[in-house]
Structure 1
Amino acid sequence: MHTYLPFLLAMIAAIVLLNTLANKLKIAYPILLVVAGLLIGFFPGLPILRINPDLIFFIFLPPLLFEASWNVSLKEMKRWWRIIGSFAFLVVFFTALSVAVVAHHFIPGFTLALGFLLGGIVSPPDAVSTGAITKFVKIPKTTAAILEGESLLNDASSLIIFRFALIAVGTGQFIWQEAALSFLWMLTGGAGIGLLLAWIFVQAHKRLPLDAPSNIALTIIEPYFMYWLAEQFHCSGVLAVVSGGLFLSAKRLIFFNSASRIQSSSVWDSFVFILNGVVFLIIGLELPEIVEGLRQKGIPLSSAIASGILVTAVLVAARIISSYAALIATYIFRPGVMPRASSNRRRWLMPMLLGWTGMRGVVSLAAALAIPITLDNGTAFPQRNLILFITFIVILLTLLVQGLTLPVIIERTGLFEGVVEEESEEASRHKMKQGLKEHVYQFLKDKYETDESGNAGLQKFLKQWEERAKATDDNWMNEKTKKIFVELLETQRQYLTELNKDPKIDEAIIRQQLYQIDLEEERLKII
């Protein structure tokens, strides 16, 4: 423990410094972390990090998926469910199948089952990598919503493929009928368990006298419990966490007070940032041991690198082909739901962009590291080191090649210049604020018009409430006006919740305003 602790603390410090450097250079921080881990891994004398394969999923995946589902826009997911569903399930299966066929035919020693195992590992794009890269360029909210929604669900589908492939490798057989029933149970059982537990947690948050730290502590254990219980029933733990996280996110205004919402945002941002950083550093730190394992198995390094490049090319080609297939199918069968674009040229270039956003990262590494070292009969797991090395090459190439070129391609091609959005962000923000002012004024007039005479605080609400944060004199804020103030904040939340049902309003803007209202309520407590 004393050997690892200074090393782990140094890793966190390195993550912070590398993230700062990445922001200054306007480079996605996963790129620098992977490269830094690779360089550090070859330093002599460093301790070798070994994580139990049975624990790798449980340590990293639940909180990362929970945080992503907490922040994704459920409204946008519902709106674009067809294309999100096709990318999360059909495209992932097509990608895994393509990798399996190519690996079986061109990589020595790979059976079809091992090919599917590798395909399940490398098929899901990484949301963290994509989000970190696209934050330096402006992309339409439609594209962002599709990428976010896809990233939540494709992890579940790819890990289901991974699990079935592990069984096929271990037993040497694969029964389609049993697999189909198991697949159905994993989907429905996982989602059902996640929703049931999420409802129970909502009741706990509402009924127990929890303060903000207690609420946040409970949210940290929730994804782990959802994942663990679903796995005990042989369901998809990933789907349990995603469905439960979406349910809790939709109910956050009901069971969280303003202090809990504000503080939880900071805590979870820091927690997930450290987890992601550790995983990306591990990717690089693991490489020297993987290379040594290849050498012991007599696999030439050049051959392993060539296999990694081949699989990467298959992944990129499969995603681009799938993107164009989805666009053509939508154009033929559902032209009314196609994303808008300023020209046909840009519409037909969009699938190329979606295909080029398939960077791999955390989930692929976690899946690769979760491969057992030995089979049930005690023999070494076949091609484990080669699968790990190919996964590393895929992550490295997609982060470096696609990650570094994607912002340049978007800027130089002007792909999103003049893209037709249904309503601009500025227009949505103006509409929301104007509606809020009218709603609050009408609320005050309807409820407190008879109390206005002689009440200086209420008169100030009616005339200058939108400038209350700038007011230097807080003596008018007595207990009665403070109570009215709280009512105003709550009615604004209700108004924004209803406004969010408008498909033209960006949910991110609604959430920003809700956060401002929470800050206003906390400010009120110290007046």
Structure 2
Amino acid sequence: MHTLLPFFLAMVVLIVLLNMWAVKLKIAYPILLVIAGLLVSFIPGLPAVRIDPDLIFFIFLPPLLFEAAWSVSFKEMKKWWRMITSFAFLVVLFTAFSVAVVTNYYIPGFTIALGFLLGGIVSPPDAVSTAAITKFVKIPKATSAILEGESLLNDASSLIIFRFALVAVGTGQFVWQDAVTSFLWMVFGGAAIGLGLAWIFVQAHRRLPTEASSDITLTLIEPYAMYWVAEQLHSSGVLAVVAGGIYMSLKRLTFLSGSSRIRGYSVWESFVFILNGIVFLVIGLELPEIVDGLRSKGIPLSTAIGYGVLVTVVLVVSRIISSFSAMIATRIFRPGVVPRAKTRTRMLLMPILMGWTGMRGVVSLAAALAIPVTLENGDEFPYRNLILFITFVSILLTLVVQGLTLPYLITRSKAFDTFLNEESEELTRREMKRGLKQHVYAFIKEKYDSENSGHHGMQLLMKQWEERAKAADDTWMNEKTKTIFTEVLQIQREYLTELNKDPKIDEEIIRQQLYQIDLEEERLKIV
């Protein structure tokens, strides 16, 4: 333990330094992490790191999925649910099937069941990687919403495929009737369990005398509880965390204080950042053992690399084909929401760019590491090291090749310059703030106008919301005006919550303004 602790601390420091370097180079930090993971594997004398395959999902997936569920816009998910569900389920199934067929044909002794296992591992694109890469270029809100919503659901669908394939490999058989029943229970049961537990957690936050530190601690425990309970009931822990996380995200204004939301945001951002980095470095540390395992089975390293490149090509081609299919289906069934590009060339480039966003990442790594070392009968799990190696190659190639070229292709092609005639973000923000100020001023004038006469604090408060001019100091802020000011902040939240129901308003702008209100409330506490 005394030798491992400095090593893990060094890993965290390395993750932070790589992120700083990535910001300076203006590239996505997962790209540097996966390269660092590869380079770390060549350093001699490093301590062996072993993570129990049965625990890998439980350690990493719940918090990563929970944080993603809190970040996604549910309003945008509802708006684009057809596209999101098609990418999250049909595209994942098509990709897994394509990988299964190709690997069964080209890799000697690789069964269809193993092919579906590998397909389930590498089929889900990584939202963290995509978001980190696209933050350096401007993409339409609809596109980012589709990618974020897809990433939440495709993790669940791919891991369901992974679980069924794992059973098929272990037992050597696949019963369709049992599979359908199990699938329905995993999907609907997992979502129901997540929603039920999320409701209980929300009530606990509301009724218990919690403060910011205890609220944040509970939110760190809750995704693990959702995942564990669902898995114990043989349902989908992933869907439980996703459904529960979305529900709690929608209720965040009702059970978390402004202080809890502000501090929790920073804690979760740092926590998820470290988890992502550790997974990439851990796979790098296991690479020497994986390579040795390949050699012991008589598989040359060059051959294994070739298999990895082949699977990566299948992933990219499958996603591009799926993107074109989705665009064609949208033009047929919902022509009113088809993106209006300026030229036919740009119209054709859109699905290609959507297909090019399929970088693989942490979920694929976690799934690969979760493959058991042995089967239930004690036999060695077939092709485990090869599957791990192919997964790493696919992640490396998609992150480096697609990740480095995607910003250039988006900028160069200008395919996203016009997309559904979206309003200017800055114009939307200005109109929202103007309406917010008018709403607050009308509220104060109607409720407290009779108290305005002869009260210096009230006069300043009225003037502030009438002209948005700050007072020279805060001496006027007595307990009475603090109470009114706090009430005003709550009125703003209610106004923004109603405004968010407008489908034309970007939810991210609403969330940014709500965050500013939370900051204002925190400042008020120390005045």
Compute the TM-score of the two structures, normalised by the length of structure 1.
0.98
Is structure 2 residue 372 aligned with structure 1 residue 390? no
Alpha-carbon shift at residue 92 of structure 1 (Å): 0.2
> 2:29 aligns to what?
29
Residue deviations 1:310-355, cap 9 Å, x none?
1000000000000000100110111123244444432321111110
Q: Is the 8 A contact 1:100 1:115 kept in 2?
A: yes
Partner of 1:193: 193
Equivalent runs, 1:150-299 vs 2, <5 Å: 150-299=150-299
Residues 312 and 215 of structure 1: is their aligned pair in 2 closer, same or farther, counting only changes over 3 Å? same
Indicate if the aligned counterparts of 1:121 and 1:368 stay in contact, CA closer than 8 A: yes
Which amino acid is 1:310 matched to?
L
What is the SS of the residue equivalent to 1:50? Answer: coil
Is contact 1:70-1:248 (8 Å) kept? yes
For 2:171 and 2:5, how far apart are their aligned partners in 1? 40
CA contact (8 A) 1:342 1:419 kept: no
* Other-structure match for 1:505: 505
CA distance in 2, matches of 1:340, 1:505: 20
Give the distance between the partners of 2:99 and 2:254, measured in 1 at CA.
Answer: 45
Distance in 2 of aligned mates of 1:262 and 1:18: 26
SS at match of 2:184: helix
1:398-433, Cα deviation, whole Å (9 max, x unpaired): 011111111111122222234454211011101110
Whole-Å Cα distance in 2 between the matches of residues 422 and 402 of structure 1? Answer: 27
Preserved contact between residue 202 and residue 255 of structure 1 (Cα < 8 Å): yes
Counterpart of 1:130? 130
Stretch moving more, 456-465 or 379-388: 456-465
Counterparts of 1:344 and 1:187 in 2: how far apart (Å)? 40
In 1: Cα distance, 2:398 partner to 2:149 partner:
20
Give the conservation status (yes or no) of the 8 Å contact 2:464–2:470: no
Contact 1:140 1:421 in 2 (8 A): no
User: Do the aligned partners of 2:429 and 2:509 also contact (CA within 8 Å) in 1?
Assistant: yes
Query: What code does the residue aligned with 1:262 have?
Result: I
- Structure 1 pair 7–421 and aligned structure 2 pair: CA distance change class (3 A): farther
Shift of residue 441 of structure 1? 0.8
Q: Secondary structure of 2:520's partner?
A: helix
Deviation readout 1:158-217 (Å, 9 max, x if unpaired): 000000000000111101111111111100000000000000000000000001000000
1:156 is matched by which residue type in structure 2? A
Q: After alignment, is 285-294 or 208-217 more displaced?
A: 285-294
Distance 1:386 1:375 in 2: 16
For residues 19 and 180 of structure 2, the distance between their equivalents in structure 1, rounded to whole angstroms, comes to 43
Task: Note if contact 2:359-2:398 (Cα within 8 Å) is conserved in structure 1.
Answer: yes
- Verify the 8 A CA contact 2:57 2:367 in the aligned structure 1: yes
Shift of 1:461: 1.9
> Kindly tell me: are residues 153 and 479 of structure 1, through their superposed partners in 2, closer, same or farther at Cα, counting changes over 3 Å?
same
Matching of residues 45-60 of structure 1 within 5 Å: 45-60=45-60
One-letter identity of the residue aligned with 1:437: K
Distance in 1 (alpha carbons) for counterparts of 2:526 and 2:330: 54
Structure 1 residues 281-360: aligned runs within 5 Å: 281-360=281-360
Instruction: Read off the aligned partner of 1:502 and give its amino acid letter.
Output: D
Which whole-Å CA distance do the structure 2 matches of 1:108 and 1:433 have between them? 63
Give the partner amino acid of 2:150: E
Give the Cα–Cα distance (whole angstroms) in 2 for the partners of residues 262 and 211 of structure 1.
Answer: 12
Which residue is equivalent to 1:425?
425
User: What is the deviation of 1:48?
Assistant: 1.6
Residue 64 of structure 2 is matched in structure 1 by: 64
CA distance in 1, matches of 2:107, 2:71: 40
| Structure 2 residue aligned with 1:6 | 6
161-170 or 439-448: which moved more? 439-448
Distance 2:354 2:107 in 1: 28
User: C-alpha root-mean-square deviation of aligned residues, in Å?
Assistant: 1.2
Deviates most, 472-481 or 252-261: 472-481
Distance 1:37 1:2 in 2: 23
> Which deviates the most, 128-137 or 448-457?
448-457
Distance 2:467 2:37 in 1: 50
Cα separation, 1, equivalents of 2:466 and 2:264: 27
Give the letter aligned to residue 145 of structure 2: A
Alignment partners' CA distance in 1, 2:106 and 2:469: 67
Q: Deviations over 1:217-263 (max 9, x none)?
A: 00000000000000001111000000000000000000011110110
Q: CA deviation at 1:288?
A: 1.4
C-alpha contact (below 8 Å) 2:77/2:145 kept by paired residues: yes
Q: Is the 8 A contact 1:342 1:420 kept in 2?
A: no
Aligned residue for 2:474?
A: 474
Change (3 A) 1:326 1:295: same
Contact persistence 1:142–1:339 (CA under 8 A): no
2:286 aligned partner, one-letter code: E
Distance across 2 between alignment mates of 1:161 and 1:107: 20
Q: Does 1:486 align with 2:486?
A: yes
- 2:526 corresponds to: 526
Secondary structure at the residue paired with 1:443? helix
What residue is the counterpart of 2:450 in the other structure?
Answer: 450
Q: 284-293 vs 207-216, which deviates more?
A: 284-293
- Could you tell me how far apart the structure 2 residues matched to 1:356 and 1:469 are? 48
Q: Which amino acid aligns with 1:10?
A: A
Runs of 5+ unmatched residues, structure 1: none
Deviation per residue, 1:480-500 (Å, 9 max, x gap)? 111110110000000000000
Letter in 1 for 2:438: E
Letter in 1 for 2:449: E
Aligned counterparts of 2:423 and 2:274: Cα–Cα separation in 1: 36
SS in 2 for 1:423: coil
2:84 is aligned with 1:96: no
Question: How far off its partner does 1:462 sit?
Answer: 1.8
State the Cα deviation string for residues 128-164 of structure 1 (Å, max 9, x = none): 1111111111111010000000000000000000000
Distance in 2 of aligned mates of 1:516 and 1:140: 24
The question of whether the paired residues in 1 share the 8 Å contact of 2:305 and 2:390 is answered with yes
**What is the distance in 2 between the residues matched to 1:262 and 1:31?**
29
Q: CA deviation at 1:303?
A: 1.1
Q: How many residues align?
A: 527
> 8 Å contact 1:320–1:356 — kept in the other structure?
yes
What is the aligned partner in structure 2 of residue 18 from structure 1? 18
Task: Assess if the C-alpha contact under 8 Å between 2:338 and 2:420 holds in 1.
Answer: no
Query: Percent of counterpart pairs with the same letter?
Result: 74
Separation (CA, whole Å) in 1 of partners of 2:505 and 2:259: 26
The aligned residue for residue 146 of structure 2 is 146
- 1:2, CA displacement in angstroms? 1.2
3-state SS in 2 of match to 1:286 = helix
Q: Distance in 1 between matches of 2:320 and 2:516?
A: 40
